[in-house]
Amino acid sequence: MKIGIVCYPTYGGSGVVATELGLGLARKGHQVHFITYRQPARLNSFQENIYYHEVSSADYPLFEYPPYDTALASKLVDVVKYENLDILHVHYAIPHAAIAYMAKKILLSEGRYVPVVTTLHGTDITLVGSHNAFAPVVAFSINKSDGVTAVSQSLAKQTYETFKIENEIKVIYNFIDFDRFKKVDKDHFKKAIAPDGERILVHTSNFRKVKRVDDVIRIFQKVYEEVPSKLLLIGDGPERHNLEQLCREIGLCNEIRFLGKQDAVEELLALADLFIMPSASESFGLAALEAMACEVPVISSNVGGLPEVNIDGKTGYLSDLGDVEAMAANAIRLLKDDELHQQFRENALEQAKRFDIDNILPQYEAYYEYILSNKVYADKS
């Protein structure tokens, strides 16, 4: 199959899922064309069956905002036509679903059909998509997609509740590649981070408000009072400055390390004793799954799709949003009980296996086949 993938080529979860999906499909012999404004980070070397088409919007003094959407639609038309794509798969509804619809209509006007699958990732529905600046276009372009997937049951439900959706939304979960994410011994790293055998707590995110990294620090503060420990904060984003300030205020700068964006996040997860995810909204929580694959139990909030990933009292603990006390108490309970902690480590790995890329990738392939064979798109012209 020849598949066009549109995504944000950044560190965000939707871009990671789209890139890993494309790489996995290419390994299975499909021809995959990435169409983005920058080369996704993990496509930096030659790989069989992978093609990359950069979208660059023309600069012109009139344009205060360069018309990226128009440039992307034109590029989609071009790539579908000349690379003879079978299907377009766009990740993150805004603006990709609407642009894919525009490209589809242009192609239809020339007698060429290409079905569009849209994958909803979370904030494209919850935080951004439901905003009235975007909502009408998001609803329209979801309804005009030939296939729609969501990364959790929770996100599918929320999409139905937020918009008047006419399509059936297929849930295909985020996935994990166990060749990359697994527990490995990195004792030299561990000594550098926790020289006296302290416990290691980890959080990774894009440091946006929705991630509530200040809660992570407050939880750690309470844990630190009871258990010798260190906190690693991996990633970067708009809240970083405030968070550094908070660490100074509570006097824990020597115990909390900001590591910035890390490519080999799995090497750090492999050292961790606990992963903390107190998000205000999380459609799935890919970062939690990555931790679980490395046998790290998760202390999280119970919002969105998190209960579908982290099983309360088994792979970690879930608490109400903002309940720092409960999250800290759960973390302390696990860190003080070696037997329980080891059991949770094993449970986390078992649960992560449900989301093995080898189980999830065939679901996308089957879904593409379904969309193509049903010619659902013919009704959408």
Binding site residues, ligand GMT, CB under 6 A: 12-15, 17, 92, 121-123, 151, 174, 206, 208, 210, 281-286
Distance in angstroms (rounded) separating the CA atoms of residues 35 and 14: 14
CA 163 vs. chain centroid, Å, equals: 22
- Min separation Cβ 268 and ligand GMT, Å: 18
Alpha-carbon separation of residue 142 from 8, 90, 117, 145 (angstroms):
18, 11, 9, 5
Q: Based on CB atoms, which residue is closest to ligand GMT, 104 or 121? A: 121
**Lookup: tokens for 266:** 């799995």
Distance in angstroms (rounded) separating the CA atoms of residues 372 and 259: 45
- Min separation Cβ 328 and ligand GMT, Å: 22
Q: Based on CB atoms, which residue is closest to ligand GMT, 3 or 286? A: 286
- Is the separation of the CB atoms in 263 and 239 below 8 Å? no
- Min separation Cβ 122 and ligand GMT, Å: 2
> 285-315: b or e for each residue (b if 16 or more CB lie within 10 Å)?
bbbbbbbbbbbbbbbbbebbbbbbbbbeeeb
Q: Where are the alpha helices (DSSP H) in the chain?
A: 13-27, 68-82, 93-109, 135-143, 153-162, 187-193, 213-226, 240-250, 265-269, 286-293, 306-309, 324-336, 338-353, 357-374
C-alpha closest to that of 214 among 243, 252, 245, 253: 243
Distance in angstroms (rounded) separating the CA atoms of residues 59 and 52: 22
Angle between helices 135-143 and 93-109 (to 10 degrees): 50
Distance in angstroms (rounded) separating the CA atoms of residues 241 and 234: 14
- Min separation Cβ 173 and ligand GMT, Å: 9
Q: Based on CB atoms, which residue is closest to ligand GMT, 77 or 233? A: 233
**Lookup: tokens for 190:** 């561990």
- Min separation Cβ 188 and ligand GMT, Å: 31
- Min separation Cβ 370 and ligand GMT, Å: 21
- Is the separation of the CB atoms in 331 and 299 below 8 Å? yes
**Lookup: tokens for 125:** 């529905």
Report which residue's Cβ sits closest to ligand GMT. Answer: 122
- Min separation Cβ 292 and ligand GMT, Å: 13
Q: What is the CA radius of gyration of the chain?
A: 22
- Min separation Cβ 83 and ligand GMT, Å: 26
